[in-house]
Amino acid sequence: MLTSKQRAYLRSLANSIDTIVHVGKGGMSDEIIKQADDALTAREIIKGKCLENCSLTPREASEIIAEKLSADVVQVIGSKFVLYRKNEKEPVIILPKANKK
């Protein structure tokens, strides 16, 4: 579970990355899940987009992918969404620490 500070940090990182996962009229396929899994393993953060002819909303698509890949939905805005999953073997992104009270 991400804190709001970590989520804000990841959103700032997502501004500069390109959209690499496109969900179209075929909906959610195994190829899309595989592509997202490979990209999350390599990059830890990815940006996706639901095309206009997609039957799913961006929120639904991001939650389906996140659930199947044990990832976190960072942001859904318009037709785009951002997902994050920590790579346990070779971490690329170092998140701000969560405040302990």
**Model pLDDT for residues 55-68, shown as the tens digit of each residue:** 999 999 999 999 99
CB of 75 within 8 A of CB of 14? yes
CATH among 3.30.110.60, 2.160.10.10, 3.20.20.140, 3.10.20.90 for 4-84: 3.30.110.60
Evaluate if residue 28 carries a pLDDT over 80.
yes
User: Which pTM value belongs to this model?
Assistant: 0.92
Domain definitions of the chain by residue range: 4-84
β-pairing, 45-50 with 19-23? parallel
pLDDT band, very low/low/confident/very high, at 91 (cuts 50, 70, 90): confident
CB 20 within 8 A of CB 48: yes
How many angstroms separate the CA atoms of 70 and 72, rounded?
Answer: 7
Find the mean pLDDT for residues 65-76.
96
**Mean pLDDT calculated for residue range 71-82:** 97
Which pLDDT does position 94 carry in this prediction? Answer: 87
pLDDT band at 92 (very low <50, low <70, confident <90, very high): confident
